[in-house]
Amino acid sequence: MAIITLVSASGSPGVTTTALGVALEWSRPVLLVEADPTGGSALLTGYWRGQRDHAGLLELVMAERHGVLADALPRMVIPIEGTDVSVVAGTKSHEQAPGLSRLWDPLLLVLQELSGQDVIVDAGKLGNEYSPKPLIRFSDVTLLVTRSSLPALAAARSWARTLAEEIVPGHDAKIVLVGEGRKYRAAEITKALGLPVLASIEWDPARAEVFSAGAPFPPARFGGEQVAERAFEQSRYLRSVRALATELAKSGVAGNEVTHKREGARHG
């Protein structure tokens, strides 16, 4: 199994959206852990549009206190219907973040012992006092998600150096670029940040909202919902998300080749 963690340096470049998209395009069963300590679960309020309620990480904190974290984890997940993806939802408020501090180390150990599934972690913005640092440092690969604008890259530059220094030997830190060419290209960003760009996600806010906001498939020029879904499946945006999953597999992070396996997952 593999652990992959996504982080950002500033703003909202699409960490949660990208993490969810990659999970839905993964070839094996995968657990998506929403470990962003800032609160207001983006998956519960976005992808599920506030129609799901789940304690998630808070229940895991209580389980850790009682020494039953490994047993509790399978009961705390939300399956995404029609997929091999399950989710541990994040906290609902930043006020709950201090309670997470003691969870990250034991949770890492439990995740490392999982069999038959990989783990994708949404760790949110770097620099947060209660950030899941063990998950960031000890993941098989940590992906710094950034846009290609000058302000975004200026914020990412120092964090790229920090990641390169803190990631433990045998583990990797790489860049995922959202909107390549919306100022700078991948080769320029690799040179500026000192980390390789693993893949670029197509800039397409309307299609990204299918993941980030549980939005319907953007309407196709002709035809109804089925045509719109087919157009989404064939879009450059979704192909770029699949390409990221494929690059992770090629780099040896995933145990086998990534193939398209999502079967019309909806957001209810």
Residue 18's alpha-carbon distances to 71, 114, 245, in angstroms, are: 29, 23, 10
User: Of 211, 212, 202, whose CA–CA distance to 179 is shortest?
Assistant: 202
Q: Which pLDDT belongs to residue 254?
A: 61
pLDDT mean by block of 10 residues, the chain; 268 residues? 94 93 95 92 92 88 95 94 95 86 95 94 94 95 95 93 89 95 95 96 97 94 88 97 92 53 46
User: Of 220, 258, 219, 190, whose CA–CA distance to 21 is shortest?
Assistant: 258
Say if residues 120 and 2 touch (Cβ distance below 8 Å): no
CATH class (in words) of the domain with range 3-250 = alpha beta
Q: How many CB atoms lie within 10 A of CB 216?
A: 14
Say if residues 121 and 152 touch (Cβ distance below 8 Å): no
Q: State the Cα–Cα distance between residues 141 and 153, nearest whole angstrom.
A: 20
- Helices 205-212 + 15-24 axis angle, to 10: 80
Residue ranges of the domains in the chain?
3-250
Q: Which pLDDT belongs to residue 252?
A: 66
Q: State the Cα–Cα distance between residues 256 and 112, nearest whole angstrom.
A: 18
Tell me the pLDDT of the chain averaged across its residues. Answer: 90
CA triplet 157, 162, 167: central angle to 5 degrees?
130
User: Of 146, 142, 266, 121, whose CA–CA distance to 203 is shortest?
Assistant: 146
Q: Which pLDDT belongs to residue 90?
A: 92
Q: Which pLDDT belongs to residue 170?
A: 83
Q: Which pLDDT belongs to residue 150?
A: 93
